[in-house]
Amino acid sequence: MLHPITPAHYLILSAALLLIGTLGVLSRRNIIIILMSIELILNAVNINLITFSRLFDQVNGQVFAIFVITVAVAEAAVGLGILLAMFRNKETVQADEIDLLKW
Amino acid sequence: MLDTIFFYLFALLTLLGAVLTITRRSAVHSAISLIVSLVGVAGLFLLQRAEFLFAVQIVLYIGGIMLLFLFVIMLVNLDRAERERQFSKAWWLALACVVGVGAEIAYFLTKGPAAFQFPPGAASPGVASAAAGGNVERLADALFSEYLLPFEMASLLLLVAVVGSVILAKKRI
């Protein structure tokens, strides 16, 4: 009844996580939750990298996952700093109310 | 057998946490759901024999990034945002895009295992895996020999990010 887990299982899970994260980025208004959805997308990428690292028996994928996590940390720190500065100026965290550059 | 049970357990945690993250009204609830999802991903790393990344995921993601998120949620006044509409007006467009990409992925998955075949040369063991030892040793070997320059540049990137976020969050720029 229980099938053994193949790399395809991990890839399907990673694709689902990527789609959920993309939906969050595209449809939510709250910028904090958009940043969290970006973390979901990066985690989906990491699952993919680890799966192929295991499949090919190389550690290169794990090294890249470490770099992805580094970039995620930098992105979260800078993104939340921008969010604080923006909240101080415009008193809002809704993405569609920050429309200064909109035509 | 046990692997299968744990895979489905962690996959359930991951997907349930992710869905809750993008649907909750309160940002704190979203952050806690995201922590659940990240724990699931950490468990998947452990199932894939990536012990070091499991530890990094727990310590850095859940301990570091999520703490940062929770602090910012406390610093920013979200009362008004919680009372308003949560999804943008063009949510149907977002859903259409996601369904389109999902259909594309599903098409490749229906091609079965043939979609996951790789040329025989791709699986040849690299330099890094030639060295024996556990996961952490192999990772350290690769990180401090083959990937030394990117590793140092990552530390520089983190320094720049720290300085940049401090300057951005200052009262007067």
CATH hierarchy code of domain A7-96: 1.10.287.3510
CA atoms within 13 A on the CB side of B134: 6
| For chain B, percent of residues with pLDDT exceeding 70 | 87
- A83 vs B contacts (CB less than 8 Å): 72, 76
Q: What is the CA radius of gyration of chain B?
A: 21
Mean pLDDT of B63-75: 90
Question: Which residue among B65, B78, B128 places its CB closest to the CB of A60?
Answer: B128
Confidence check: pLDDT of A73 > 60: yes
Our CA-based measurement puts residue B116 at a distance from the nearest CA of chain A, in whole angstroms, of 8
Would the pLDDT of B18 be above 90? Answer: yes
Categorize the per-residue pLDDT at B8 as very low, low, confident or very high, splitting at 50, 70 and 90.
Answer: very high
> Residues A55-78: what's their mean pLDDT?
91
- Is residue B29 a contact partner of residue B82, using CB atoms and an 8 Å limit? no
Question: What pLDDT score does B173 carry?
Answer: 63
| Domain B1-80 = CATH 3.30.413.10 | no
φ, ψ dihedrals at B87, nearest 5°: -110, 150
pLDDT band at B9 (very low <50, low <70, confident <90, very high): very high
Q: Testing the interface with B: which of A30, A47, A78, A96 to mutate, by most B Cβ within 10 A?
A: A30
Least confidently predicted of A32-46, B74-88, B124-138: B124-138
Contact B55, B45 (CB under 8 A): no
CB B39 within 8 A of CB B62: yes
Using alpha carbons only, how large is chain A's radius of gyration in Å? 17
C-alpha dist (Å) from residue B120 to A37, A56, B12, B124, B127: 36, 10, 33, 7, 17
The closest CB to that of B125, out of A22, A57, A72, belongs to A57
Cβ pair A54:B7 closer than 8 A: no
Question: Model's pTM, two decimal places?
Answer: 0.88
CB within 8 Å: B105 and A84: no
pLDDT average, residue stretch B159-173 = 86
B31 burial via Cβ count (<10 Å: 0-12, 13-18, 19+): buried
Cβ–Cβ contact B95 with A under 8 A: yes
Residue A77, H or E segment? helix A60-90
Residue from the list A43, A54, A66 with its beta carbon closest to the beta carbon of B49: A54
Nearest to B84 among A59, A81, A94 (CB): A94
Q: Is B131 on the interface with A (CB under 8 A)?
A: no
Q: Which residue has the higher pLDDT, B123 or B75?
A: B75
CA-based nearest distance A28→chain B, Å: 5
